[in-house]
Structure 1
């Protein structure tokens, strides 16, 4: 598919679209919703829905809104308790704003609040996926945010870029659009380097592309930067969805992009099956299996991971937990469901399958990670 045909993510080519809006775009420095700008975005959404596109929104802003109402320092991010209180207070205002503006266009809004664990746990992930499917079938626009009022470090996405990508995966979206304070991926940070050049199309996220990311959030209000957007692109494209970074600093940002505005599109990779896509897109794992060059080559051919190819085992995990499979140079090459707990895995690492019974007293499985429960990343 030609990249120029994808520009703007037209409804004719993108049936289901996830749109992410960051705090710096939605909330002004005084802590108020930028209602006039948001109304132009809602008009974009309404136009796309009229054209047949299904839209899901991932909206930041709850902490920033709540911090102002509670008069909290540091934008509500001075402590976990402040952030949780600000989120609880601001989420009401945020939801009311979205519901009101969408209603002006005759659109019903729904709210979903999720934590990282909701999308890392397979059963809850499937529940979220089913809810999203039903909502869009009912012609509703789901408005999603991280549940910051209860999330702690261990169960947080930390930024809504990766949340948007995971929601896109759960919703089986065709594309994800990240509205940002920059209009795409540049060869360097355009805020500090005037010679930086926009990259309009990214077919593969390799080391060169990753090196261009800047971890800072220009506004100081949000929690993401270009690093999180690259990570989001890995998740989305690995699940078979395109991902775009476009400017949200203009009115009607989606229409602006569709009519020739700048943007960067990460092209979707060949989609994995639903289960393997969920595995590949996970943000948390319980352990690491360091494998030798022979095992890496075998995995690349679609084989299961045998104990003989494992050089070392890291972490504490139970059978059925998700682990990373790592090359000797530190690259994560695959992710899968482990067939043994960590104690047994340590005992049989580097050994031939026929030795397992003597080492463990039984040999229930001949592989450490079966290819049917593994996804290359």
Structure 2
């Protein structure tokens, strides 16, 4: 059943994402009473044996009111960073107080894109989450907007939540939103629009239903970001649901009514390959011909002979995207620096040693370090 996928027996760990428009009123004050009902739901799930990780927006919106910044603190990058620095303290205090009233300990983690894209830092974040959950704490995560820039940020907490689900080994992700799921059209303008209850495959038709706008003006996400989050979560074997948060006790109501859109994940790959597939910022791109693309689809390693172009500046061990004539098909950990990769592109293995000055490695990207998209 679609709803049981998020219940404690099946999802031992659950990531719950809260959008800014749910947590913060248009005047910049927190919806404390609503958050209390959600945390009551968390208490119930904890008692049933489910560990819950919260990904919470709201720092910029809270800080902007305190600092009297225009545009909700998003008029400039400097304003957003300043608002986040002030608002994050307020956000952490809110969770500490409300969780403490319910006998639970809040733990704060602030992450940037690099923290989950760099393999070593990703493993550190994963280990911290594991330990906090084992100790009974409720991790509350947010993007570190006080230092993040356009180049090193997720840009929305929907995708951050999906990436955190990978790091935490969660079985499910619930995105609480100001909409109650994915519709066939914009329900505010098309009365014939219907809710898509279950998505088995994120094909082009489903992705085309995404809308990059954020209705409240407080957040940075939108339906397009939620669909991208569903793809990232699915690559880690985690189911994802888009559920309305505009009601009290949203997790309880979802369990009772099933109202929302559920994206069913395929079987989970190994966690290392899930990390590769869910990455957002590859260091470079390797363009391959049809023959190499077919070999990769058959489970083989990427050999330099099938490469005709190398883009970007990367080092051995970085994540690169493999691009076929029809578009991106894979991600992997590259075995050469970008200069060496460009030097041997299109060259068979037996002729590479003379170009490199040393014996070549078995592959440009080994199949054990590669995942198809």
Q: TM-score, normalised by structure 1?
A: 0.96
What are the equivalent positions in structure 2 for 1:148-227 lying under 5 Å apart? 148-227=145-224
- Which ranges in structure 1 are unaligned for 5 or more consecutive residues? none
Residues of 2 paired with 1:255 and 1:355: CA distance? 63
Task: Give the deviation of 1:282 after TM superposition.
Answer: 0.8
**Which residue does the alignment assign to 1:94?**
91
Residues of 1 paired with 2:357 and 2:123: CA distance? 37
Residues of 2 paired with 1:268 and 1:321: CA distance? 27
Task: Give the deviation of 1:49 after TM superposition.
Answer: 0.9
Q: 2:329 is matched with which residue: 329, 333, 345?
A: 333
Moved more, 313-322 or 246-255: 313-322
Residues of 2 paired with 1:33 and 1:304: CA distance? 52
**Which residue does the alignment assign to 1:275?**
272
Residues of 1 paired with 2:353 and 2:124: CA distance? 39
Query: Does structure 1 residue 256 correspond to structure 2 residue 285?
Result: no
Query: Does structure 1 residue 299 correspond to structure 2 residue 296?
Result: yes
Task: Give the deviation of 1:86 after TM superposition.
Answer: 0.3
Tell whether the 8 Å contact from 2:177 to 2:242 is kept in structure 1 after alignment.
yes
Residues of 2 paired with 1:200 and 1:260: CA distance? 12
Q: 1:347 is matched with which residue: 336, 340, 343?
A: 343
Q: Helix, strand or coil: the match of 1:123? A: helix
What are the equivalent positions in structure 2 for 1:39-188 lying under 5 Å apart? 39-188=36-185
Query: Does structure 1 residue 242 correspond to structure 2 residue 222?
Result: no
**Which residue does the alignment assign to 1:3?**
2
4+ aligned runs moved over 3 Å, structure 1: none
Residues of 2 paired with 1:95 and 1:357: CA distance? 56
Task: Give the deviation of 1:4 after TM superposition.
Answer: 4.8
Residues of 1 paired with 2:98 and 2:263: CA distance? 30
Query: Does structure 1 residue 313 correspond to structure 2 residue 310?
Result: yes
Cα deviation code 1:290-346 (max 9, x no counterpart): 11111111111110001121122111212221110011122x211011112222222
Task: Give the deviation of 1:352 after TM superposition.
Answer: 1.6
Tell whether the 8 Å contact from 2:213 to 2:223 is kept in structure 1 after alignment.
yes
Residues of 2 paired with 1:39 and 1:178: CA distance? 17
Cα deviation code 1:117-159 (max 9, x no counterpart): 1111111111111111111111111111111111111211110
Query: Does structure 1 residue 286 correspond to structure 2 residue 296?
Result: no
Residues of 2 paired with 1:101 and 1:322: CA distance? 40
Residues of 2 paired with 1:319 and 1:116: CA distance? 20
Tell whether the 8 Å contact from 1:243 to 1:266 is kept in structure 2 after alignment.
yes
Residues of 2 paired with 1:362 and 1:218: CA distance? 57
Residues of 2 paired with 1:5 and 1:144: CA distance? 25
Residues of 2 paired with 1:210 and 1:84: CA distance? 31
Task: Give the deviation of 1:52 after TM superposition.
Answer: 1.1
Task: Give the deviation of 1:192 after TM superposition.
Answer: 2.6
Tell whether the 8 Å contact from 2:349 to 2:360 is kept in structure 1 after alignment.
no
- Which ranges in structure 2 are unaligned for 5 or more consecutive residues? none
Tell whether the 8 Å contact from 1:188 to 1:213 is kept in structure 2 after alignment.
no
Residues of 1 paired with 2:125 and 2:211: CA distance? 31
Tell whether the 8 Å contact from 2:289 to 2:307 is kept in structure 1 after alignment.
yes
How many residues are treated as equivalent by the alignment? 373
Q: TM-score, normalised by structure 2?
A: 0.97
